[in-house]
């Protein structure tokens, strides 16, 4: 896990006494999500367990009359994130900016997977995040922490001697007639 702080987000997290809490939350998320296929519900459950979900879910909403919600909020710090693709950085940071502009939050945390394509010509996820956040300024100007989590690729566990074909776990009895080349 790596945390990148922009525009004094780390100072705001320290002032709110949430920097250690955030670090522990990210560590917990890495262990919970490592190799998981369906991350959305696990992400929400882990944030709840770590105290990032308010009692009233309406407190997560950042646009009146709409269902747009942050993944978590604690002490005027909002958490947003996605572990499907790194490219969620733009949407996630935009969502956080809305709450910042409305005075709802003082800073944001954007959690992303550090996993990207092996042939990427843009360098590491860390280098790319630094470049992109700086390129978005002044349009995106909120204090933000980008947390890049190492959660690995989804795994299909085969405990019955079966295999995997086309992303589908296939029991050994059904493998014989399974077309490997559709």
Q: For 35-82, how does the pLDDT look when each residue is reduced to its tens digit (9 = 90+)? A: 888 899 999 999 999 999 998 888 899 998 898 999 999 999 999 999
Whether residues 63 and 118 share a domain: the answer is yes
**Ramachandran assignment for 120, one of left (phi > 0), alpha (psi -120 to 50 degrees), beta (any other):** beta
Whether residues 167 and 128 share a domain: the answer is no
Question: Has residue 130 got a pLDDT over 50?
Answer: yes
Whether residues 21 and 101 share a domain: the answer is yes
Question: Token pair of 79, please?
Answer: 């958490």
Residues 157-172, mean pLDDT to the nearest whole number: 50
For residue 138, say if its preceding peptide bond is cis, omega within 30 degrees of 0. Answer: yes
147 or 160: which leads in pLDDT: 147
87 or 146: which leads in pLDDT: 146
Whether residues 7 and 74 share a domain: the answer is yes
Whether residues 142 and 98 share a domain: the answer is yes
pTM of the model: 0.82
109 or 181: which leads in pLDDT: 109
Residues 20-35, mean pLDDT to the nearest whole number: 95
Whether residues 113 and 168 share a domain: the answer is no
Residues 3-18, mean pLDDT to the nearest whole number: 98
Whether residues 41 and 119 share a domain: the answer is yes
The Cα 100–Cα 87 span in angstroms is: 21
Task: Rounding to the nearest 10 degrees, give the CA dihedral for residues 48, 74, 5, 108.
Answer: 100
Whether residues 146 and 163 share a domain: the answer is no
For residue 168, the model assigns a pLDDT of 44
pLDDT tens digits, one per residue of 148-161 = 999 877 666 555 55
Whether residues 116 and 141 share a domain: the answer is yes
- Structural domain harbouring 35: 2-151
Whether residues 109 and 181 share a domain: the answer is no
Question: Has residue 175 got a pLDDT over 80?
Answer: no
Whether residues 131 and 92 share a domain: the answer is yes
Residues 126-148, mean pLDDT to the nearest whole number: 96
The Cα 32–Cα 43 span in angstroms is: 8
Q: Which CATH number fits the domain that encloses residue 82?
A: 3.40.91.20
Residues 165-177, mean pLDDT to the nearest whole number: 45
Whether residues 141 and 162 share a domain: the answer is no
Give the count of domains, the chain.
2
């Amino acid at each position: 896990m790596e945390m990148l702080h922009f525009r004094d987000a780390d100072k705001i997290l320290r002032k709110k006494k949430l920097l250690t809490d955030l670090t522990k939350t990210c560590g917990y998320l890495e262990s919970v999500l490592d190799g998981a296929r369906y991350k959305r519900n696990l992400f929400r459950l882990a944030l709840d367990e770590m105290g990032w979900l308010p009692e009233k879910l309406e407190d997560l909403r950042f646009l009146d009359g709409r269902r747009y919600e942050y993944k978590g909020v604690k002490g005027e710090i909002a958490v947003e994130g996605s572990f499907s693709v790194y490219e969620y950085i733009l949407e996630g940071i935009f969502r956080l900016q809305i709450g910042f502009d409305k005075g709802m939050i003082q800073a944001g945390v954007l959690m992303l997977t550090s996993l990207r394509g092996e042939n990427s010509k843009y360098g590491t996820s860390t280098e790319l995040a630094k470049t992109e956040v700086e390129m978005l300024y002044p349009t995106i100007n909120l204090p933000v922490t980008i947390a890049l989590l190492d959660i690995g690729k989804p795994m299909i566990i085969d405990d019955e001697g079966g295999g995997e074909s086309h992303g589908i776990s296939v029991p050994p009895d059904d493998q014989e007639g399974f077309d490997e080349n559709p």
